[in-house]
C-alpha cells in the first residue's frame, strides 16, 4: 500500500519569485513534514486496527505456580497464539500446550505435548513473551540470542511460525503500540533515507563481510562462494559440486569468449573471477567494499588476468570510462544496492557495457512489496540490505535500454545451501569463542536456519536474470533457448572445474 502519493500540479500563469526567504522555506518544509508524519501515523493506526483480533481470552490459570499468572494480557495472548503451532516447555519440566479444537490454552504440569511434539520451545526466561510484544520479530530473535528460549529444531520451528505469520502479526499489532511505532519508523526510514549512499555503503558491507575470514573459510568450503549454489538435479549432493555447477551456469549464460573483459560487481572473495579467467580465458575486474575479501582474494585466488580491488561500482566508470566491458555481472550483491539506487545501478551497468554486451544479475527477491528496516536480518546480519520485489526488477528491465533475455528461479537450492553452510560450521570447532561468543553464534543460527525456512516456504526466492542492451545482438538465435541448453548437462560442463 502506497502511503505517499505525488501529484503533478498545473503551473500557475503567474511566475513565482525566483527566490523565497529562507525562513519561509523552512516553515513550509516543517509544516509539510509534520503533516506527513501525522498522515503516516494515522495510516498505521488504520492498518493495524482494521482487522480486530478474534483470539478468545485465555481461561484462568490453575493455582499451581504458573509463571504467567502475573503476565500482561498481551504476553498471555501471544503465548496462547503460539500454541497453535508449537508446544511450550519450561525449564522445570512443565508444559503448556494448545488445543486447536477449543481454541484455548491450558497450563498444567500434567499436560502432554501436542501432536507436533518435535516442535517445541524451551522457555528459560518468560520475559521472552514481553519482548515479543514490544519488538515483534526482532524481540523474538533477540530473546533467542540472549538465551531466553531454546528449541531442538530451529528451522522447522521457523517454518511453522512463518506459516502462521499473518495471525501472529495481527495479534502483535493489536496488542502493542510500540509495534505500530516501529512500523511508522520503518516507513519513514524507507521514504526519507538512503541507507546505501556512496559514503554509507562501505560501512554496511564491512559490518557483515569483515567479521572474520576464518568464519567464512570454515562455513563456505573450498569454493569460497558466499551465494546460492545450484543443486540442479538429485545427483548433485555436495555443496562443492553445487557451487561449481552454479559457476559453470553463470559462465554459460554470459556467453564468454576468450579475450573478453568482464566486470564482477561485488566480487566477494574472488573465486568466481578466478574461475572465469582460468577456464574461459577472460580478463576480470572485481570490485568489493570489503578489505577482508580483497585480502583473501589476493592470497588464494590471484591470477594474472584478475584485478580484485576495493571500489564502489558507482566509481568504476570514472576510472575505466564508458563501454569498457563486454560483460557485467553481480552475484549476491544487488541486495545491498537499496531501492533508492536501483536506477543508478542499472544506468551504470548500461553505460559500462560495450555494444552487444550482456549483463547477469543473481539476486534474492521477495514477495513483500514493503521492505521492513526493523527485522532481525536487516538489524543484525545485513545492515542496509533490501530485497527487491519481482515487480521492481520487471519495471527496471522494461526500460527502453534493456532486453530481459532470461529469468531463472532456483530458490529451493538456497535452502540447501544454507543448511550446508550450517553443517560446515558444526559446533564451531576451531573458531575462537572470544571472537565469536555465544550470542553471535546464536544470532548466526537464526540467520542460517531462518533464511532456509523462508526459501523452503518460497517467501523469498533466488533469481538469475540475463539482460542485453536494447536494439543490439540483432540476428542472433533466441538467447533464452541457448541458455536453457545448459540445463541437463551440468555434470559434463562442470568436469573442468572439479578439484
Total residue count of the chain as it appears in this document: 499
Could you count the other beta carbons within 10 Å of the beta carbon of residue 253?
25
Q: State how beta strands 353-366 and 325-331 pair.
A: parallel
Query: C-alpha dihedral over 372, 375, 379, 384, to 10 degrees?
Result: -20
Task: Please tell me whether residue 120 adopts helix, strand or coil conformation.
Answer: strand
* SS3 assignment, position 150: strand
Distance CA 290, CA 310 (A): 7
Phi, psi angle pair for 120, to nearest 5°:
-145, 155
Alpha carbon of 135 to those of 252, 295, 489: distances in Å? 46, 38, 48
267 is catalytic: no
| CA distance linking residue 369 with residue 414, whole number of Å | 21
- State the cell numbers at 195: 541507507
Query: What are the Cα distances from residue 287, in Å, to 303, 312, 348?
Result: 15, 7, 14
Among residues 496, 422, 414, 416, which one has the least CA distance to residue 461? 414
Return d(Cα 62, Cα 417) in angstroms, integer: 46
d(CA 347, CA 362) in angstroms, rounded, equals: 17
Q: Which three cell numbers stand for residue 460?
A: 523469498
Question: With the C-alpha atoms ordered 246, 272, 391, 335, is the resulting torsion angle positive or negative?
Answer: positive
Checking 278-284 for CB contacts under 8 A at 24+ apart, the result is: 278/303, 279/251, 279/496, 279/497, 280/251, 280/256, 281/305, 282/256, 282/257, 282/258, 282/326, 282/327, 283/259, 283/307
| Residue with the three cell numbers 560450521 | 425
Q: Are 308 and 298 in contact (CB under 8 A)?
A: yes
Catalytic residue among 228, 267, 349, 451: 451
Name 149's bridge partners: 123
Q: How far is 269 from 272, CA to CA, in rounded Å?
A: 8
Percent of residues in the chain assigned helix, strand, coil, to nearest 5: 45, 15, 40
> What burial class does residue 338 get, using C-beta atoms within 10 Å of its C-beta: 0-12 exposed, 13-18 middle, 19+ buried?
buried
Catalytic positions, please? 451
Amino acid at each position: 500500500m502506497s502511503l505517499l502519493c505525488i501529484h503533478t500540479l498545473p503551473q500557475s500563469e503567474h511566475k513565482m519569485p525566483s527566490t523565497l526567504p529562507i525562513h519561509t522555506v523552512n516553515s513550509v518544509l516543517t509544516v509539510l513534514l509534520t503533516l506527513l508524519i501525522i498522515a503516516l501515523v494515522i495510516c498505521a493506526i488504520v492498518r493495524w486496527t482494521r482487522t480486530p483480533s478474534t483470539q478468545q481470552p485465555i481461561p484462568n490459570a490453575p493455582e499451581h505456580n504458573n509463571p504467567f499468572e502475573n503476565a500482561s494480557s498481551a504476553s498471555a495472548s501471544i503465548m496462547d497464539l503460539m500454541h497453535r503451532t508449537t508446544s511450550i516447555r519450561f525449564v522445570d519440566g512443565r508444559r503448556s500446550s494448545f488445543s486447536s479444537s477449543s481454541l484455548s490454552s491450558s497450563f498444567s504440569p500434567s499436560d502432554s505435548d501436542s501432536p507436533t511434539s518435535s516442535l517445541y520451545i524451551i522457555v528459560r526466561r518468560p520475559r521472552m513473551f514481553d519482548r515479543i510484544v514490544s519488538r515483534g520479530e526482532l524481540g523474538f530473535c533477540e530473546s533467542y540470542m540472549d538465551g531466553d528460549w531454546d528449541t531442538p529444531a530451529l528451522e522447522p520451528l521457523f517454518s511453522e511460525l512463518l506459516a502462521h505469520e499473518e495471525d501472529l502479526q495481527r495479534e502483535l499489532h493489536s496488542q502493542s503500540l510500540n509495534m505500530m511505532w516501529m512500523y511508522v519508523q520503518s516507513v519513514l526510514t524507507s521514504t526519507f533515507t538512503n541507507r546505501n549512499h556512496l559514503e554509507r555503503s562501505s560501512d554496511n558491507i564491512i559490518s557483515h563481510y569483515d567479521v572474520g575470514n576464518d568464519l567464512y573459510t570454515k562455513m563456505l568450503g573450498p569454493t569460497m562462494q558466499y551465494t546460492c549454489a545450484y543443486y540442479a538435479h538429485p545427483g548433485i549432493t555436495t555443496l562443492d559440486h553445487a557451487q561449481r555447477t552454479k559457476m559453470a551456469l553463470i559462465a554459460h549464460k554470459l556467453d564468454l569468449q576468450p579475450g573478453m573483459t568482464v566486470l564482477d560487481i561485488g566480487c566477494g572473495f574472488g573465486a568466481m573471477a578466478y574461475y572465469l579467467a582460468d577456464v574461459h580465458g577472460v580478463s576480470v575486474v572485481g570490485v568489493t567494499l570489503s578489505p577482508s575479501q580483497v585480502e583473501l582474494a589476493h592470497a588464494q585466488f590471484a591470477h594474472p588476468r584478475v584485478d580484485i580491488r576495493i571500489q564502489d561500482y558507482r566509481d568504476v566508470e570514472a576510472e575505466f570510462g564508458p563501454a569498457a566491458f563486454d560483460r557485467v555481472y553481480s552475484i549476491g550483491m544487488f541486495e545491498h544496492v537499496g531501492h533508492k539506487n536501483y536506477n543508478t545501478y542499472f544506468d551504470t551497468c548500461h553505460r559500462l557495457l560495450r555494444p552487444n554486451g550482456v549483463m547477469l544479475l543473481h539476486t534474492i527477491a521477495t514477495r513483500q512489496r514493503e521492505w521492513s528496516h526493523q527485522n532481525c536480518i536487516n538489524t543484525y546480519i545485513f545492515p542496509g540490505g533490501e530485497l527487491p520485489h519481482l515487480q521492481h526488477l520487471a519495471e527496471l528491465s522494461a526500460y527502453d535500454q534493456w532486453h530481459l533475455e532470461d529469468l531463472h528461479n532456483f530458490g529451493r537450492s538456497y535452502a540447501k545451501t544454507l543448511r550446508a553452510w550450517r553443517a560446515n560450521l558444526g559446533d564451531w570447532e576451531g573458531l575462537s569463542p572470544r571472537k565469536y561468543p555465544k550470542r553471535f553464534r546464536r544470532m548466526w543460527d537464526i540467520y542460517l536456519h531462518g533464511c532456509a525456512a523462508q526459501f523452503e516456504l518460497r517467501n523469498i526466492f533466488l533469481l538469475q536474470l540475463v539482460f542485453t542492451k536494447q536494439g543490439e545482438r540483432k540476428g542472433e538465435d533466441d538467447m533464452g533457448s541457448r541458455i536453457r541448453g545448459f540445463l541437463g548437462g551440468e555434470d559434463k560442463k562442470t568436469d573442468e572445474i572439479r578439484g
